[in-house]
Structures are given as structure tokens and as C-alpha cells.
Structure 1
């Protein structure tokens, strides 16, 4: 199944917390749900839970990066 990469705007504090949770093997449910909602808004159907990839290191705009598996029949 294809993967869709999702970038979510965040602040530095939240991004660090999400990264720390990921390193502990845990998930940040709020950002996972936001990634899933972004996939739905793009007209695609998620096939599984969003997978945390990392964060950007922008000076002002930090983003959380997730890969979300989508059903192939929903990919344009």
C-alpha cells in the first residue's frame, strides 16, 4: 500500500515532547489523530495508524512528520 507523507505544524515544545515519546516507544495520540484527519481531508482513506518519522529543524516553523499508509484505490 502506498504511503502518504504528512507534515503538521507544531511548536518546539510539542515537537520535542512527541520526539521524546517516540524514543520511549510511545505515541502522541493528538498528533497521530491530526495526521489521520489530514489524510481524510486530502480525500484518501488511511489503512493504518500514522507512523512518526521525525521533526523538521526549522528555526521558526517546526513540523511533525508522519507517514500514513493509505488504500491504493484512494490514491489519485
Structure 2
């Protein structure tokens, strides 16, 4: 299955919390669902749960990075 990387806009405080949860082996359901919704917005069909990859290091705009498996015959 192909992977696509999605970027989820988020504030710095929440980004730190998501990173701490990930390091503790837990997930942040709200951001994971936002990543799934972004895949749907791009016209693709998710084939699995989004996997947290990391956080961008932007000064003003912080984003969470998720890899999501998608069905090959879905979308553009």
C-alpha cells in the first residue's frame, strides 16, 4: 500500500503534548483523526491508522507529521 505524508496545523503547546504522548507509547486521538480527515480531503481512502512521524520546527507555524497508508486505487 502506498504511504502519503500529511501535515496537520497545530499550536505549539498541543504539539509538545502530542510528542510527549508519543514518547510514552500513547496516541493523541484528536490529531490522529485530523490526519485521517486530511487524507479524505485529498480525495484518498485511508487503509490504516495514521502513524505519527514528528513535529515540524517552524517558528510561527507548527505542524504534526503523519504517514497514512492509502488504497492505491483511491484518489488522484
TM-score higher than 0.5? yes
Instruction: Please state which band the TM-score falls in when normalised by the shorter chain.
Output: over 0.9
Residue 75 of structure 1: CA displacement? Answer: 4.5
Dislocated runs of 4+, deviation >6 Å: none
Structure 1 portions without partners, runs of 5+ = none
Cα displacement string for residues 7-52 of structure 1 (whole angstroms, at most 9, x for unaligned residues): 0111110000000000000000000000000101111100000000
RMSD of aligned C-alpha atoms? 0.7
Structure 2 portions without partners, runs of 5+ = none
1:1-76 to 2 correspondence within 5 Å? 1-76=1-76
State the TM-score, normalizing by the size of structure 1: 0.96
